[in-house]
Amino acid sequence: MNRQDLKTIIYAEKAKVENNKYKHKIGVCCGAGCISSGSEEVLKKLQEEVTTRGLDHDVEIIPTGCMGPCNQGPLMKYLPDHTIYQKVDCSNIAAIVQSQIIDKKPIEHLLLFADTREKPFRDAREDPFFKSQLKIVLRNCGQLNPERIEDFLVHDGYQALDKTLCEMSPEDVIAEIKHSRLRGRGGAGYPTGLKWETVYKYVNDQKYVICNGDEGDPGAFMDRSVLEGNPHRVLEGMAIAGYAIGATKGYAYIRGEYPLAIKRFETAIKQARKMGLLGTDILGSNFSFDVEVRIGAGAFVCGEETALIASIEGKRGTPRPRPPFPAEFGLWGKPTLINNVETFASISPIIINGGEWYSEIGTPKSAGTKVFALAGKINYSGLIEVPMGTSLREIVFDIGGGMQGGGEFKAAQTGGPSGGCIPAGHLDVKMDYEALTNLGSIMGSGGLIIMDQTSDMVDVARFFMEFCMDESCGKCLPCRVGTKMMCDLLQKICDNRATQIDLDRLEELAIYVKETSLCGLGGSAPNPLLSTLRHFRNEYQNRLIRHEQKDQIEVPSNIQV
């Protein structure tokens, strides 16, 4: 297929939409959250309902990706009004169809947030949950059927790829990405353009693009939702990256825990190949690129790039020391570009709208938007996307609808087991890479867990340390033994058996493990501990027993058989 063929298809598809024979369109959220709440049943029942009423020719029903407010699911969206119904189940579908389609008025008490808002919004876009958001990465999530490439094409799909291949040189693409000031969304925030340029500069007969979809942070599901809701967007980003750096082969490494994401991504690859958007001589440009899916097998450390490479090569996912960096010596020893799912999903809007446009969103040092997985003791949890620099207060109270059960905000945990927490005193922090680092936390991949006064911060630190201990690959000593020791010491504090000496030792170990570990897992494993110590040291101190009391307690039994 060449450029003209693509245009023809898009025109045809757009014409189909414009001459829509359907009068109504209903999207049923088939993101993982809603599927878990039974949205597939809802979808089936809705189809039946529409058929029995003989409305098949008037109502188009599509399964969509994640709509956002996951804990209100299953969600159903009526277009073009953007009326969202929450907690839909098979029993109230008939009523909704009757009221919304036949009587043309929504059922107020079933609308999104009807149970918590005084007056729910008929147009969900007016609701503060959506109003405060800016969706770039997630723009088409929840609007199109992720399993139809045509739906994506109608929404400017593969236009960016078309533009890069036909109008831009690899240098242009890299310059545009650099200009956008996009930073890697996997957590570390390394400038994406710079990374691309580095790989581009290494001359080699073979280079690789890897999409890191091994989203292992507990409490994070951004990548999952993007892969499930708009897989083609990621695929397009990968192809553009391939063109820019001179790679012909890409791998998408997706967590085995996400079967739906894997299925949809594989479907997307097949469709793109069939249309000639992957394969040889894409759009008549001489550029060839193909993508293969590799399924993760349950190891958090594989999110680390060198471990991920080892895993793609079919080995134990153990990291190796850097330098050399994957940009020089990566998959099978070849120059390799590794970016996160969200990073790749940000590429096509940048190409279409220009780097300038993107760089003006967000803060001076952190451009663009960030997707967060908002969860915890909050009223509305789910998937949100906000411009960098949005305050935590806005996220918690405007978007998240405040604390659940009227609880008191205590801390927000960002960055999962590699991150830290933000205490109530810093609720007004503008969320970007620098601000979070200054507070001793990190942006991370985007998990945002809200905790109330019932959360015990020492136990939170212990929880994350236990996670890192379980996930340590065991290769380097500081991480292998250090995480175990710290976990034991934290347990000792939780059990009120520790003294000040134990706490001092714990802090010393934390800094030691942070500075000496081989890879980022060990290097960041002490972060939750150090961060809770920084903001909630009194909770640790209150647990300690005085040294003189030591002779009144039993022999420490922190020895495991």
What residues numbered 249-308 form the site for another protein, per CB under 8 A? Answer: 256-258, 294-300
Q: Which stretch binds another protein (CB under 8 A): 13-21, 109-117, 282-290, 446-454?
A: 446-454
What is the rounded CA–CA span in Å between residue 231 and residue 270?
Answer: 12
| Site membership for another protein, residue 215 (CB under 8 A) | yes
Our CB check for another protein shows the closer of 57 and 316 to be: 316
Tell me the three state secondary structure of residue 224. helix
- Are the CB atoms for 140 and 155 separated by under 8 Å? yes
What is the rounded CA–CA span in Å between residue 528 and residue 99?
Answer: 50
CB of 56 to another protein, least distance (A): 30
Our CB check for another protein shows the closer of 142 and 362 to be: 142
- Are the CB atoms for 318 and 307 separated by under 8 Å? yes
CB of 524 to another protein, least distance (A): 12
Q: Which residues pair with 63 in a beta bridge?
A: 28
| Site membership for another protein, residue 316 (CB under 8 A) | yes
Our CB check for another protein shows the closer of 220 and 337 to be: 220
Q: Which stretch binds another protein (CB under 8 A): 67-75, 175-183, 244-252, 532-540?
A: 67-75
Our CB check for another protein shows the closer of 16 and 316 to be: 316
Q: Which residues pair with 382 in a beta bridge?
A: 374
Among 36, 169, 280, 438, binds another protein (CB under 8 A): 36
Among 2, 71, 204, 391, binds another protein (CB under 8 A): 71
| Site membership for another protein, residue 517 (CB under 8 A) | yes
- Are the CB atoms for 380 and 401 separated by under 8 Å? yes
What is the rounded CA–CA span in Å between residue 505 and residue 527?
Answer: 16
**Minimal CA–CA distance to 9: which of 209, 231, 145, 157?**
157
CB of 527 to another protein, least distance (A): 14
* Residue 280 exposed, middle or buried by CB count within 10 Å (0-12, 13-18, 19+): exposed
Q: Which stretch binds another protein (CB under 8 A): 101-109, 242-250, 264-272, 516-524?
A: 516-524
Positive or negative CA dihedral for 465, 467, 470, 473?
Answer: negative
Number of residues near another protein (by CB under 8 A):
86
| Site membership for another protein, residue 518 (CB under 8 A) | yes
| Site membership for another protein, residue 79 (CB under 8 A) | no
- Peptide bond just before 323 cis, omega within 30 deg: yes
Residues recorded for the chain: 561
| Site membership for another protein, residue 455 (CB under 8 A) | yes
What is the rounded CA–CA span in Å between residue 446 and residue 169?
Answer: 33
| Site membership for another protein, residue 405 (CB under 8 A) | no
| Site membership for another protein, residue 423 (CB under 8 A) | no
Our CB check for another protein shows the closer of 339 and 381 to be: 381
Which tokens sit at 285? 């440009």
| Site membership for another protein, residue 477 (CB under 8 A) | yes
Among 35, 245, 371, 461, binds another protein (CB under 8 A): 35
Q: Which stretch binds another protein (CB under 8 A): 35-43, 76-84, 174-182, 229-237?
A: 35-43
What residues numbered 136-195 form the site for another protein, per CB under 8 A? Answer: none
DSSP assignment letter at 141: T
User: Strand (E) positions, 453-557?
Assistant: none
* 22 φ/ψ sector (left φ>0, alpha ψ -120 to 50, else beta): beta
Among 81, 463, 494, 545, binds another protein (CB under 8 A): 463
Q: Which stretch binds another protein (CB under 8 A): 156-164, 188-196, 265-273, 551-559?
A: 551-559
Tell the residue number behind the tokens 């007969």, with chain if given.
Answer: 205
